[in-house]
Homo-oligomer: A and B are copies of this chain.
Amino acid sequence: MNIYTNPQKSEWKALTERATQNNDKIATIVAGILDRVRKDGDKALRELAREIDGVEIDSLEVSDQEKQEAAELVSAEVKEALDKAYSNIRKFHEAQLPKEVEVETTPGVRCYQRPVPIQKIGLYIPGGNAPLFSTVLMLAIPAAVAGCPDVILCTPTDKQGKVAPAVVYAATLCGVRHIYKTGGAQAIAAMAYGTETITKRDKIFGPGNRFVTMAKQSVSVSEVAIDMPAGPSEVMVMADETAKPEFIASDLLSQCEHGADSQAILVCDSMEIADKVQACIEDQLKGLSRTSALESSLGNSRAIVMDTKEAMIEFANAYGSEHLIIAMDKPWDIAAKITAAGSVFIGNWSCESAGDYASGTNHTLPTSGWAHSYSGVNIDSFIRKITYQELSQEGLKGLSNTIITMADAEGLDAHANAVKVRIK
């Protein structure tokens, strides 16, 4: 971890930068995959599973029997943990449900805004050695709370053609009815265009590797909405003398284990803290297993020492971190000045992994500075707010001059005419 003391403003751009990657090769491969799935549907999904993953997929959908088997394979402890996390996540997302808005803006003119669930939701969960079943909860629970009637999940299988039991169990727990055995860019293509088995979705959610990310980005231009732009995960810890270096080190490391391109940033007000945290990191590293990811991503990581709290806050807002831990005196006063962050962790006991799994907040959050403009996944992500207006005859009369004057000034006489034919 490189340490920077009171960096000049001119250096901030470099210090807030994330790792970027050249995606031209991936774009070409993904375009080919999207094209094949669009043309050949299920057949392409089976062929691609064979070519890319070396797996023969018989039935694309996880059967009821497979769901039962999965439930038997998940341990009682994991089930109990899932139940507890489920309960907290559900409570927090239920509290977010928006109310209907109704206003009579002027006599006889009533305007309404109503939340309406998105109908066809597609969730993507990556595979790998330890599939992230916690993400199933983070996506499928708000979809259920929002009332989305048709939620499916796609995820790759292992070499034996089986989906990870914890993913199947968590999805079923959250009311996902259809789970499909397809992964990578081809799964995104299936949900964007539809195949014989998988019906076209209105919005696609979920993390993935660079192929999945590129595929989501491509289809989002003209086919289907996506949750948000994706990038490597990141955490920023803001610390003063009230912080515990040991805790901070553990949070930075828990971020770094996600992958070689993860980033952890410490912003603190003394070199002493930075040095202590650095020592704790070296100490804790010895007991952790994902050494290669940890060592690479520590290389992307930085400690910024600032003289003032104001400068710390300004830097945090310039960075716009996915996760922001505030381990400082009066943390809520600091939090009130934060204008860009995905999820904020207040005080010494609020470790990032609490929010990753079980506090109740969502862990699907904007990365790469997108926290300046995007929210994390929340209930709004699964609804549209449709507006309605109802004018009485008198209401329209009262507004007629306004509408006709504006329409005429914009040169749109058919717009004015729609009022005139009604009030003549």
Residues of A within 8 A of B (CB): 75, 77-78, 80-82, 84-85, 87-88, 91-92, 95-96, 98, 101-103, 105-106, 109, 111, 113, 116-120, 129-134, 166, 202-203, 217, 221-222, 224-225, 229, 246-247, 250-251, 253-254, 256-258, 284, 287-290, 294, 317, 331, 335, 338-362, 370-376, 378, 380, 383-393, 395-396, 399, 401-403, 405-407, 409-422
Contact = CB atoms under 8 A, between A and B. Distances in A.
Best-buried of A390, A410, A414, A416 by chain B (most CB within 10 Å):
A414
B406 A357 contact: yes
Given A96-B101, A357-B403, A389 B129 contact: no
A418 B327 CA distance: 14
A92 B388 CA distance: 11
Contact of A410 (B134, B250, B410): B134
Contacts of A415: 254, 257, 352-353, 356-357
A352 B418 contact: yes
Contacts of A355: 387, 389
Contact of A81 (B103, B202, B388, B401): B401
Contacts of A119: 317, 339-340, 372
A384 B163 CA distance: 35
A257 B254 CA distance: 58
A344 B388 CA distance: 4
Contacts of A251: 418
Contacts of A217: 221
Nearest to A84: B402
- In the complex this chain forms, how many copies of it are found? 2
Contact of A386 (B132, B258, B344): B344
A391 B229 CA distance: 29
Contacts of A374: 225, 384
Contacts of A373: 118, 202-203, 224-225, 384
A391 B354 contact: yes
A346 B250 CA distance: 57
A283 to B, nearest CB: 10
Contacts of A166: 409
B418 A116 contact: no
16 contacts: A77-B401, A95-B113, A116-B339, A116-B340, A166-B409, A222-B229, A253-B414, A344-B387, A346-B390, A353-B412, A354-B403, A359-B391, A362-B387, A374-B384, A376-B385, A380-B380
B417 A250 contact: yes
Contacts of A91: 103, 105
A385 B389 contact: no
A288 B412 CA distance: 9
Contacts of A106: 84, 87-88, 360
Contact of A414 (B250, B378, B405): B250
B98 A353 contact: no
A233 to B, nearest CB: 11
Contacts of A254: 412, 414-415, 417-418
Contact of A411 (B129, B349, B384): B129
B88 A351 contact: no
A366 to B, nearest CB: 8
